[in-house]
Amino acid sequence: MTLIDGKAVSEKLRGELKADVAAFIEKTGIKPGLAVVLVGDDPASKVYVRNKRRGCRECGMYSEVIELPADTTQAALLQLILDLNTRTDIHGILVQEPTPRQIDNTAVINAIDPRKDVDAFHPMNVGRIMTGNFDFLPCTPAGVMELLDAYNIPIAGKECVVVGRSNIVGKPQAMLLLHRHGTVTICHSKTVGLAEVTRRADILVAAVGKPGLITGDMVKEGAAVIDVGMNRIIGNDGREHLTGDVDFESVSQKAAYLTPVPGGVGPMTITMLLRNTLTAAKKSL
Ligand code: GUN
């Protein structure tokens, strides 16, 4: 079994991206800029936001983190987005989810200029992903595709099963695999006979948020298994651990390729966000 090293692939891509950013700045005098908006103080979100800021800095991009209190009104957040939409030094805008209850995420996403929507959550970008005519790819599914390519895992004609149908991962993931000529099935909580479906998969992507859902008996011998799960659980040592949707022990006995958690898909997501930010800066010309 080959362990897919998301950290190594991510580092290589970030090295290339850093060179691309430097070349872009040299040519245009424009430094790509990302605004990350964090409403409230969810501890996991704070870590993600910090990593996004660090990623920008490392790749030579500008970043601005705007931290707003948990009781920020919808109107205030929308006004902030409108301001960011008009700023010429900001090319990408991201509102970290989850947001507090009073915030309507759909309205927030709809307010972001689609040209600055580096999450690719705006309906215009979602539609463009559907047709294959896109500028931005959603970060996590794009990271999964990069991992498959980095390990030369063929997609065309293969049985691809995506477990999970979220707008952020499952649905766009299925679409990206389809664009690459995979035969794609989407499973979810109402799927009857989940194991029978997952056992068909040459490529199995788990993105549901249920620790250990995918066990060895659900996996075909020689499959590539991609674990998108990011579950925080309290371990036997009483401390918080990050664990995936895949039962690593049993699945590693069957799979030919497997992503660990942490160190698989996770590191790729921010790299794809940084790439989208450079793309947005290029498109702004
Ligand atoms: N929260 C968890 N993942 C993401 C993501 O990809 N984008 C945003 N905006 N928030 C998130």
pLDDT at 78: 98
pLDDT at 1: 97
pLDDT at 80: 98
Q: Which atom of ligand 1 is nearest to the CA of 98?
A: 1
The string of pLDDT tens digits covering residues 144-168 is 999 999 999 999 999 999 999 999 9
Cis amide prior to 114 (ω within 30 degrees): no
Return d(Cα 177, Cα 254) in angstroms, integer: 22
pLDDT at 202: 99
pLDDT at 253: 98
Residues of the chain with pLDDT under 70: none
Instruction: Quote the mean pLDDT of the chain.
Output: 97
Domains 29-115 and 139-266 fall in the same CATH topology: yes
pLDDT at 106: 97
pLDDT at 188: 97
Residues 244 and 206: beta-carbon distance below 8 Å? yes
**264 C-alpha to ligand 1 centroid (Å):** 17
Pairing of strands 203-206, 159-163: parallel
Return the biggest CA–CA distance within the chain. 56
Domain boundaries, the chain: 29-115, 139-266
pLDDT at 154: 98
pLDDT at 58: 97
Structure tokens at 36: 């990350």
**CATH architecture group of domain 139-266:** 3-Layer(aba) Sandwich (3.40)
Return d(Cα 146, Cα 142) in angstroms, integer: 6
Q: Let me know if domain 29-115 sits in CATH 3.40.50.10860.
A: yes
Q: Which atom of ligand 1 is nearest to the CA of 140?
A: 6
Has this prediction a pTM greater than 0.75? Answer: yes
CB of 95 closer than 6 A to ligand 1? Answer: yes
**177 C-alpha to ligand 1 centroid (Å):** 21
